Amino acid sequence: MSPVFNFSAGPAVLPREVLIEVQKELMDWHGTGMSVMEMSHRGKEFMQIAAEAEEDLRSLMGIGKNYKVLFLQGGASTQFAMVPMNLVRGKKVIDFVDTGHWSKLAIKEARKFADVNIVASSEDRAYAYVPAQEAWKRSADAAYLHYTSNETIGGVEYPFTPDAGDTPLVCDVSSNFLSRPVEVNKFGLIYGGAQKNIGPAGLTVVIVREDLLGQVVPGTPTMFDYKIHADGDSMYNTPPTFAIYVAGLVFKWILKQGGLKAIEQRNIEKAALLYEVIDNSGDFYACPVDKPFRSRMNVPFRLTDERLDDEFIKEAKVRNLLQLKGHRSVGGMRASIYNAMPFEGVKALANFMQDFAKNHG
């Protein structure tokens, strides 16, 4: 079978080496005669898998001892509620930066727990950029400052880490998790769903500074309290065991690639290949995002002649280039090129885009 390149925005491509390892170990994990799926989460085998996954994630990101790493469920969408429930801590206002679809959903949910102050929004220009930090209108006493480091649909990525001063900085990193180095100690909390850069759907990773725990909104259900999960080492109830196992293998794979700096370098090169084709296409293709904020993970682009959209998808499929249709809310195309998308896949897409423009331009 010739290789298929899957540009899905998530669930998304996983490293081939990881899938092969999962296949090898599927029926018999390390001589136990059992699949990881069948193991008790409290048995010593799975406890070892989970502990190693946490250790490897800590070493990849340089997570300090004053942070808890939680392996939860419910997706990033559950975090839209769980973060305010845990971090409002009696304050009146939460500060948000609005850069598009996912910021907006996080804002909508947070409004149930406090007033929301939009410090800046790029809605005025169809979310094509990240507003300059100097112009953010922050509250004097916000519970925290929330931003979305990569807008998966819009293809807008922060090229900087905001400076929140003493206010806890909170980030939804769902679609650029582990794609570049992060200074964890600048954050109060980092969260993301696993199904893009980390592993299968079903696992949500939360990294939270310990001093922020234990002050939930009255009435918060037990399962929504970070402290319960922190005290229980993410085993208060049954965690998503198989997803944690696969994520652990992905962490080892990233370590083997040379860690986040090396991964970042590859991601820069991969993204540049596609943006160059778009920018040099003589307006055959267009990217709606201002250059400094173009995502390295999700590359949105349009065919100037939209009548060619269906033909583009059809011919791409013939070349085994799959899942290139843009999000239903914006149309056009989107190529998601997460960590596990090999350079050859991006190269194949770039070549196809050039050929297609030549044949139909």
99 marked as part of a ligand binding site:
no
Strands 169-172 and 189-193: parallel
Cβ-contact 122, 255 below 8 angstroms: no
Catalytic status, residue 314: no
Cβ-contact 228, 244 below 8 angstroms: no
Catalytic member of 98, 102, 104, 325: 102
Catalytic status, residue 137: no
- Residue (of 151, 166, 156) closest to 95 by Cα position: 166
Q: Which is nearer to ligand PMP, 175 or 234 (CB)?
A: 175
CA geometry: angle 295, 298, 299, nearest 5 deg: 80
DSSP 135: G
Q: How far apart are the first and last CA of the chain?
A: 32
Q: List residues binding ligand PMP (CB under 6 A).
A: 10, 75-77, 102, 148, 152, 172, 174-175, 193
266 marked as part of a ligand binding site:
no
State the minimum distance, in angstroms, from the CB of residue 266 to ligand PMP: 21
State the minimum distance, in angstroms, from the CB of residue 205 to ligand PMP: 11
- Both structure tokens of 8: 């899905």
Catalytic status, residue 279: no
Q: Which is nearer to ligand PMP, 148 or 281 (CB)?
A: 148
Q: What's the rounded Cα separation, in Å, for the pair 205 and 220? A: 20
State the minimum distance, in angstroms, from the CB of residue 125 to ligand PMP: 20
Secondary structure of residue 95 in the 3-state scheme: strand
Q: Which is nearer to ligand PMP, 9 or 316 (CB)?
A: 9
In degrees and rounded to multiples of 5, residue 97 shows phi and psi of -100, 135
76 marked as part of a ligand binding site:
yes
In degrees and rounded to multiples of 5, residue 69 shows phi and psi of -110, 120
Catalytic member of 68, 95, 98, 196: 196
237 marked as part of a ligand binding site:
yes
Q: Which is nearer to ligand PMP, 154 or 248 (CB)?
A: 154
State the minimum distance, in angstroms, from the CB of residue 356 to ligand PMP: 27
Give the residue numbers annotated as catalytic, written as ranges: 102, 172, 196
Detail the residues annotated as belonging to a binding site. 42, 76-77, 102, 152, 172, 195, 237-238
Detail the residues annotated as belonging to a binding site for pyridoxal 5'-phosphate. 76-77, 102, 152, 172, 195, 237-238
